[in-house]
Copies of this chain bind each other. A is one copy, B any other.
Amino acid sequence: MRSTSISVLVVDDHFMIRLGLVSALSQESDLEIVGGARNGQEALEMFETFRPDVTLMDGILPDIHGVEVTRRIVSSHPDARIILISINETAEDVHRAMEAGAWGYLPKSSEHRLLLEAIRSVASGGRYLPPEIQSRLAERSLYVSLSDRELEVLRLVAKGKANKEIAEELGVGEGTIKTHLKHLLSKLEAPDRTRAVTLAIERGLLRL
């Protein structure tokens, strides 16, 4: 981490967003953009190459989820400073980003000032969360974690599979699937399987 200027790596598959970020940061004398990655693979490679002070990472990438990329980078470089940027501002999402080792979270609608504030704050070792998200994070009673099996079942439910079909596909009894369903319905507090799917999508547990 050089004292003279903060090096920044931008990771986003949308050209327009990369351009917006670059244009916002290039006006600042203490920030220097060292690279722009279009997907998770490129992000991992570029991180190794440039070792940026701060990485701005989009949540949704064509290959790997941004949270997963963050997890991988942090596991090999615990001192990495990553700010996740996402359209999706659910408490779920933020929670998982933080858990993965991100140091900041920015909604895509953030103004110039907040963006710079976040980068500088994170570069100097601080955390950054937008105020309205901090408060929502506090009352995150809605945070639930589904087991791998439950998530797998839910994914098949989202595909329109019936319990019996899911049972065949996973090679277990139908009763087992019903039990998993029963558990995940109660975890998500969903009245039925359809709402369980839409809730899981809303909370970022499931992707279409």
Contact = CB atoms under 8 A, between A and B. Distances in A.
A201 B200 CA distance: 14
A16 B12 CA distance: 12
Q: How many of these chains are in the complex?
A: 2
Nearest to A16: B20
Contacts of A161: 191
**Consensus secondary structure, chain A interface:** helix
B192 A198 contact: no
B24 A19 contact: yes
A142 interface: no
Interface residues of A, number: 39
Nearest to A194: B194
Contact of A208 (B23, B157, B194, B202): B202
A144 interface: no
Interface string A181-202: 0000000001111111111011
A136 interface: no
A13 interface: yes
A110 interface: yes
A54 to B, nearest CB: 16
A162 B23 CA distance: 50
Contacts of A198: 158-160, 197, 208
Contacts of A157: 194
Interface in A12-43: 13-24
A111 interface: yes
Nearest to A26: B23
Contact of A194 (B15, B109, B160): B160
A195 B14 contact: no
Question: Which of A18, A24, A160, A161 has the most chain B CB atoms inside 10 A of its CB?
Answer: A160
Given A14-B87, A15-B115, 9 more contacts: A15-B110, A15-B111, A17-B108, A157-B194, A158-B198, A160-B191, A160-B195, A197-B197, A198-B208
Interface of A: 13-24, 85, 87, 108-112, 115, 157-162, 190-199, 201-202, 208
